[in-house]
Amino acid sequence: MNEPDVPPRRGRKSEISRGQILDAAARMLRRQGYGNTTLRKIAEVAGIQAGSIYYHFASKDEIMDAVLERGVRAVYEAVRDSLAALPPDTPDRRRIEVAVGAHLEALLSHGDYTSTSIRTYGEVPMAFQQKSQPLRDAYVVLWQELLAGAQAAGAIRADLDTHVLRPLLLGSLNWTVEWYDPSQRPVAEIAAQAVDMLFHGVLPTEA
Amino acid sequence: MNEPDVPPRRGRKSEISRGQILDAAARMLRRQGYGNTTLRKIAEVAGIQAGSIYYHFASKDEIMDAVLERGVRAVYEAVRDSLAALPPDTPDRRRIEVAVGAHLEALLSHGDYTSTSIRTYGEVPMAFQQKSQPLRDAYVVLWQELLAGAQAAGAIRADLDTHVLRPLLLGSLNWTVEWYDPSQRPVAEIAAQAVDMLFHGVLPTEA
DNA sequence: AATATTTTCTAACTAACGTTCGATGGAAAT
DNA sequence: ATTTCCATCGAACGTTAGTTAGAAAATATT
């Protein structure tokens, strides 16, 4: 019904169910949070029986792990790749602009995984916050180097602390998952105004 | 301990326990999220038995309600009062600066209630998101009027959409509950840089 | 067509949840 | 000293959570 046109020759239907379980889990996590997401509801959304989940995953935690990791990875790779695709001599301002756009686009257009990895991360047991921690750290480093590099090159004011600038900026972007409404504005418009404010501030240009 | 100086004559020890239960709930909610916060753990932290909670609250939901509402109210009133305390002729820039400072101060210094009302709101059942919704709406209106008024007075660039500016700004501030570390910097320093960035942007002042 | 393998279902188990309620201790009032 | 009322305890209830295991169905292999 919703399989790709070329069904895998040898016995891998399992992948399809596994994907549906993850999709259902990501959607439920995003909407109802960790506390109200039960295996039975996930199974219902995925169209199978609760017990059947255990053929694909060893535990509920393993599902959470998979969803969270996939979310962070999607954002991380989107930003990293969009930066890597730029010509080597791209000015720092442009690189920041691209990174902001890629981050927001991945967050808001790329399904439930990314939103969930932002919204749900703070409320899951520490035990499997740690599983995706290396990726999260790598992502922070990516931004930190981008901003610190820009500052060293003179593209960002020298009197700002990039260790404050970075979380303030990323917080502003991350929080969009709580309020952004696709029916109101395109993502690009949010990104454009965010970059505009970041660069020039909100005060009118004066004498 | 935290009562008014005139202890109630007749039998009001109940208030103390009630406060301890709320404190415990707020702390647990902040650290472990809604899903992993159980009545038995709250009772344990509060130093009483699980069943005893029901002498003070009718249900778990009532506790959540109380914690959430108290959190939003603290932030709302802190910002509202700090604005009301300003002289009537205070320029818009200064008013925004004060509001940002009050919001951050309430969020980061005022205990677990405010942080929880930010972090946990998105993951509780809609049924009692609605209880604190009026207050939340009022707070949004407060900011919206502050910013729109400033823009009308020419203190904010006319080409910015305050309906995008507001959530971007508040998101940046709200996200601090995820990363701010009191042992690193005072809150005022974060507030100062946030306002600086908001007003002037991060680009160097050029010719 | 028969067999072997992969996937799902059904039904149950245990633990923990929110909640209830009668018994119990201690402080205030008589 | 006795009574009254407030606050807590302790043990239990019904429900639902995550999880398990053997039977059954679906699919692939020969």
Q: What is the mean pLDDT of residues A42-59?
A: 96
- Give residue A11's pLDDT: 52
Residue A55, class by beta-carbon neighbours within 10 Å (0-12 exposed, 13-18 middle, 19+ buried)? exposed
Q: Is the CB of A14 under 7 A from strand D?
A: no
Four-point Cα dihedral B8, B11, B13, B14, nearest 10: -110
Nearest CB to B35 within list A35, A165, A196: A35
Q: What letter would DSSP give residue A27? A: H
Tell me the average pLDDT of chain A: 91
User: Could you read off the pLDDT tens digit of each residue along chain B, which spans 207 residues?
Assistant: 333 333 333 446 667 889 999 999 999 999 888 888 999 999 999 999 999 999 999 999 999 999 999 999 999 999 999 999 999 999 999 999 999 999 999 999 888 999 999 988 888 888 778 889 999 999 999 999 999 999 999 999 999 999 999 999 999 999 999 999 999 999 999 999 999 999 999 999 864
- CATH fold of B64-200, please? Tetracycline Repressor; domain 2 (1.10.357)
Side chain identity, residue B33 = G
- Give residue A33's pLDDT: 85
Q: What is the mean pLDDT of residues A138-146?
A: 98
Q: Is the CB of A38 under 7 A from strand C?
A: no
List every span in chain A annotated with CATH 1.10.357.10: 60-200
Q: Which CATH superfamily does the domain covering A8-57 fall into? A: Homeodomain-like (1.10.10.60)
- Give residue A129's pLDDT: 83
CATH of domain A60-200: 1.10.357.10
List every span in chain B annotated with CATH 1.10.357.10: 64-200
Chosen for mutation from B197, B199, B200, B206 (greatest number of chain A CBs closer than 10 Å) is B197
| Region class of B164: left (phi > 0), else alpha (psi between -120 and 50), else beta | alpha
* pLDDT surpasses 60 at A8: no
Sign of CA dihedral A144, A145, A150, A152: positive
Nearest one of A182, A114, A28 to B123, comparing CA atoms: A28
Structure tokens at A158: 């020298």
- Of the listed ranges A106-120, A137-151, B147-161, B182-196, the one predicted with least confidence: A106-120
List every span in chain B annotated with CATH 1.10.10.60: 1-57
List every span in chain A annotated with CATH 1.10.10.60: 8-57
Q: Residue B131 CA to nucleotide C27 C1', Å?
A: 37
A12 Cα to chain B: minimum distance (Å): 35
- Give residue B8's pLDDT: 38
pLDDT band at A10, cuts 50/70/90?
very low
Sequence-separated (6 or more) residues with CB below 8 Å from residue B94:
B86
Q: What letter would DSSP give residue B85? A: T
Q: Are residues A21 and B112 in contact, defined by beta-carbon separation less than 8 angstroms?
A: no
Choosing among 1.10.10.60, 2.130.10.30, 1.10.3720.10, 3.40.50.300, the CATH entry for B1-57 is: 1.10.10.60
B10 Cα to chain A: minimum distance (Å): 41
